[in-house]
């Protein structure tokens, strides 16, 4: 037996004979061979077979109920008993009886009378054969179980590739095996890649097993099969081929994953910006990546098995003392260790790198330390970048002067020093007059260039110990630290104001610029750095109020004025955001008939207490704070809405709206006007824009283009305050305007001042010669009215006729005027 050893077996022998004497004789002969059982008839025998399970049956042929042939056929027809050898007992010697016995399934004969030795040998032979068959069946079953449990597919094929055996009956390996495959060709059972490889190797194999691997794509992934193939020979030649298949996919995938991981690790270590050095537990180098090679100057093949301190020469940047490599601390204390600050690495070629980072132990799968890894990088550029970033964070990008952050720090230090030593510190806030106007009209490139030129000029006028900073825009601050005299502040401010009278050259053109300077002194004016700056700002604002091109020291009156200005700006901003700005309308009259021929829209502001604020207060503030564009847009829309309402009431009253210089230079003005006309449905010819002549004096060509763009909308253009500018007569002929307004400053004293009278006369004459409509502002007396009529000016506005009126009052005046005309 294959797995179990030999055992002693007791055989069961069944004798079927209706002659008891024959039974007794056979029992006596066969008793040494095993247990003897008998039955006197065929029917009794068939019932007894299942109980005793005989190893051999001796069957008499002639019996009364069932003869031997019938009993034999019944036993052979039953699969449970078909393998029991049957020996016929007969006294017949004719060949016909022998043929019938063999046809019925018998295996031998015992003839009567019985020859004891021959009889015993015949039965013993069948018992031995029976036992051998049992052993073969058992061995086959054990072999089949063994083959089935082997973690491989075992197959046997003939020379043509037809299956003779497989240990897979359930389709565990391939779905095609889940059926009876015996006799089927290998190409119908195995995947094409596997079957083709096996058939190909049939021609090249011998008795020695051939081993190879076949790759099979299955279900979106690759499977790998290791094949062992050998020929099976007998005395007649090659009978077939034994093919065993082992699935090595998991091993292959694991190897591929391991290779990919190793390759990814290799590429990562070779491509990262950090240097990496690995050592064993003694600090002997086992690996270096290219960055480590570059920084140390050592090649890996030269550095292998070298002590790490021989390759990495670490020193303290300040003391130049040799440092212990942190890798040894990581090995000793079995933890991650950061490198000492200010470490520097000297390469083999003498290059010095500022380095930082850390070392860490390497552990195996049992957690035992087997080495360490050193990761470091060059921080020289980072340190330089940090210095540069610090500079950028504390300096103005345009001028490279200290910015607000650095200035605040220096102000605090200056105030602390002055307090400690009983000295003074002063802040001079320098602001370029009308810079926004210049920047908008000239362009930001020239504005930036002017700022840089201004910074250079101021820098040449102050000692190196003073701080010159730029707060942003057109504001500079000069910090005078550790000074004893307020006079020194005054002298420096005076020098700065005078120095600005020298023109600046921009694109080969000269530009005159003035500055306003506010001065605050610590501790006279302020208790700390923040207050010092705030009070300098208040003083600067006072300098602007007093006419610009000057300097002012701080006082508490200035602070109060600044607070009022803040409240006013808050009130104005709130009114604009909530669309609460009021518009009053001053009628324009025909001086000869007193008929209303137009109206001027004038902005009005009311504070939270209901007090009306003068336009002379909030209009300049709106210009300075940048709110003038929003204010102008709001007045424009309200005026267009009212003019359209009057038109619907039957009053075609042209409405004029003032446009500040900042609005006029704003490129979006034509779109704003167009949108206002369309949204309110006001005909364009009923809208007139009043533009001050000073707004037209910056760039004649550009302003001429802007005026043409506006007049193309169908609106009218009026020059406001004519006669107060510097170049009016020279530029007037270049501009396409419709109306000229004579400034009230000339009208007021025209009857008392011959000079003013001549100016008014000249303006009227000039306007008439150019075909312009003339309107006199500030007409307050009948004498002024008649004088204007005599000079040829037939339209005017002023308190003689009406003050600016609220909408409801203006409409009442319109009705009254209409009745008078009727």
φ/ψ of 251, rounded to 5, equals -65, -45
Task: Please tell me whether residues 154 and 139 are part of one structural domain.
Answer: no
Pair (226, 300) in one structural domain: no
Q: Which of 94, 126, 146 is the last residue of a domain?
A: 146
Say what the pLDDT of residue 726 is: 44
CATH of the domain at 287: 3.30.450.20
In-domain check, residue 703: yes
**Does the residue 74 lie in any domain?**
yes
Low-confidence ranges of the chain (pLDDT < 50): 1-3, 5, 726-728, 822
Do 341 and 456 share a domain, yes or no?
no
Query: Of 521, 554, 587, which marks where a domain is finished?
Result: 554
> Does residue 560 sit within a domain?
no
Count of C-beta atoms within a 10 Å radius of residue 434: 15
**CB within 8 Å of 453: residues ≥ 6 apart:** 504, 506
Same domain, 542 and 579: no
- What's the rounded Cα separation, in Å, for the pair 411 and 414? 5
Confidence (pLDDT) at 694 = 66
Interval 221-264: pLDDT, tens:
788 888 888 877 665 555 778 888 888 878 887 787 777 777 77
Taking the C-alpha atoms of residue 576 and residue 353, their distance in angstroms, rounded to an integer, is 61
pLDDT at 26: 86
Domain count across the chain = 5
Domain containing 433 — which CATH number?
A: 3.30.70.270
**pLDDT confidence of residue 1:** 46
Task: Report pLDDT for 671.
Answer: 94
Cα-based torsion angle of the residue sequence 707, 713, 714, 719 in order, rounded to the nearest 10 degrees: -30
Domain shared by 463 and 424, yes or no: yes
106 in the same domain as 90: yes
Q: Is the peptide bond before 178 cis (omega within 30 degrees of 0)?
A: no
Q: Given 364, 384, 404, which residue is the final one in a domain? A: 384
Q: For the full predicted model, state whether its pTM sits above 0.75.
A: no
- Domain residue limits at 754: 572-810
Q: Is the domain of 142 the same as that of 154?
A: no
Regarding whether 336 and 400 lie in a shared domain, the answer is: no
In what side-by-side order are the strands of the sheet with 467-472?
Answer: 467-472, 475-483, 424-432, 515-522, 550-553
Residue 453, helix vs strand vs coil: helix
**Which pLDDT belongs to residue 103?**
77
Q: Identify the pLDDT of residue 237.
A: 53
CATH code, domain with 788:
3.20.20.450
- For the stretch 198-208, pLDDT in tens is 888 776 666 67
Pairing, β 655-659 against β 687-692: parallel
Strand partners, 213: 226
pLDDT value for 737:
86
- Shared domain for 54 and 193, answered yes or no, is no
Q: Based on the fold, state whether residues 637 and 753 are members of the same structural domain.
A: yes
Classify residue 785: in a domain, yes or no: yes
């Amino acid at each position: 037996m294959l797995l179990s050893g030999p055992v002693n077996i007791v055989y069961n022998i069944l004798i079927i004979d209706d002659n008891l004497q024959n039974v007794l004789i056979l029992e006596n002969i066969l008793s040494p061979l095993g247990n003897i059982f008998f039955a006197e008839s065929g029917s009794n025998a068939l019932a007894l077979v299942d109980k005793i399970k005989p190893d051999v049956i001796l069957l008499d042929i002639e019996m009364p109920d069932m003869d031997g042939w019938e009993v034999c056929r019944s036993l052979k027809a039953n699969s449970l008993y078909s393998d029991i050898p049957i020996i016929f007992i007969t006294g017949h010697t004719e060949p016909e009886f022998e043929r019938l016995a063999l046809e019925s399934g018998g295996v031998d004969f015992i003839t009567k009378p019985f020859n004891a030795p021959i009889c015993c040998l015949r039965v013993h032979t069948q018992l031995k054969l029976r036992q051998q068959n049992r052993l073969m069946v058992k061995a086959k079953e054990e072999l089949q179980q063994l083959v089935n449990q082997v973690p491989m597919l075992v197959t046997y094929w003939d020379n043509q590739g037809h299956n003779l055996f497989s240990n897979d009956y359930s389709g565990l390996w391939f779905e095609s095996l889940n059926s009876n495959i015996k006799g089927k060709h290998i190409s119908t059972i195995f995947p094409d890649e596997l079957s083709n490889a096996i058939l190909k190797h049939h021609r090249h194999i011998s008795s020695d097993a051939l081993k190879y691997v076949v790759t099979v794509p299955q279900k979106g992934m690759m499977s790998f099969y290791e094949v062992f193939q050998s020929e099976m020979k007998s005395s007649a030649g090659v009978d077939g081929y034994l093919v065993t298949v082992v699935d090595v996919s998991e091993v292959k995938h694991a190897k591929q994953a391991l290779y990919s991981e190793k390759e990814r690790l290799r590429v990562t270590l070779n491509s990262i910006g950090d240097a990496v050095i690995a050592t064993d537990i003694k600090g002997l180098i086992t690996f270096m990546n290219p960055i480590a090679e570059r920084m140390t100057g050592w090649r890996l093949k030269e550095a292998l098995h070298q002590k790490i301190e021989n390759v990495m020469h670490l020193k303290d940047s300040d003391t130049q003392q040799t440092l212990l490599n942190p890798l040894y601390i990581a090995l000793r204390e079995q933890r991650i260790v950061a490198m000492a600050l200010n470490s520097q690495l000297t390469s083999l070629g003498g290059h010095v790198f500022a380095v930082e980072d850390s070392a860490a132990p390497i552990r195996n799968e049992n957690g035992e330390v087997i080495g360490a890894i050193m990761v470091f990088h060059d921080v020289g550029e980072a340190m330089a970048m940090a210095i540069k970033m610090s500079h950028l964070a504390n300096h103005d990008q345009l001028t490279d002067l200290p910015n607000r952050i650095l200035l605040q720090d220096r102000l605090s230090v200056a105030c602390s020093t002055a307090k400690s030593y009983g000295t003074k510190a002063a802040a001079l806030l320098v602001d370029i007059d009308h810079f926004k106007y210049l920047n908008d009209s000239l362009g930001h490139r020239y504005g930036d260039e002017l700022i840089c030129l201004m910074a250079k000029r101021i820098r040449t006028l102050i000692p190196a110990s003073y701080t010159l900073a730029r707060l942003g825009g057109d504001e500079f601050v000069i910090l005078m630290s550790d000074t004893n005299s307020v006079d020194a502040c005054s002298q420096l401010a005076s020098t700065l104001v005078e120095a600005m009278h020298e023109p600046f050259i921009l694109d080969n053109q000269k530009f005159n610029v003035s500055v306003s300077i506010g001065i605050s002194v610590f501790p006279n004016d302020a208790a700390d750095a923040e207050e010092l700056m705030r009070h300098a700002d208040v003083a600067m604002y006072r300098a602007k109020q007093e006419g610009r091109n000057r300097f002012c020291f701080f006082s508490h009156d200035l602070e109060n004025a600044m607070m009022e200005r803040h409240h006013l700006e808050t009130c104005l901003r709130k009114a604009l955001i909530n669309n609460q700005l009021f518009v009053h309308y001053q009628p324009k009259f025909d001086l000869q008939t007193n008929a209303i021929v137009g109206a001027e829209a004038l902005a009005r502001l009311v504070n939270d207490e209901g007090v009306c604020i003068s336009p002379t207060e909030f209009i300049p503030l709106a210009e300075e704070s940048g709110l003038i564009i929003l204010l102008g847009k709001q007045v424009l829309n309200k005026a267009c809405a009212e003019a359209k309402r009057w038109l619907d009431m039957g009053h075609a009253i042209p409405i004029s709206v003032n446009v500040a210089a900042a609005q006029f230079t704003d490129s979006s003005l034509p779109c704003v006007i167009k949108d206002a006309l369309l949204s309110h449905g006001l005909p364009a010819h009923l809208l007139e824009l009043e533009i001050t002549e000073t707004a037209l004096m910056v760039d004649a060509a550009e302003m001429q283009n802007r005026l043409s763009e506006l007049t193309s909308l169908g609106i009218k253009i009026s020059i406001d305050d004519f006669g107060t500018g510097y170049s009016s007569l020279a530029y007037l002929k270049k501009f396409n305007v419709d109306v000229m307004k004579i400034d009230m400053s000339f009208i007021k004293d025209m009857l008392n001042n011959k000079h003013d009278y001549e100016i008014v006369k000249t303006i009227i004459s000039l306007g008439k010669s150019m075909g312009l409509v003339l309107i006199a502002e500030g007409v307050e007396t009948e004498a002024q009215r008649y004088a204007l009529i005599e000079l040829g000016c037939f339209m005017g506005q002023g308190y003689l006729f009406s003050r600016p009126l609220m909408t409801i009052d203006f409409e009442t005046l319109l009705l009254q005027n209409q009745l008078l005309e009727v």
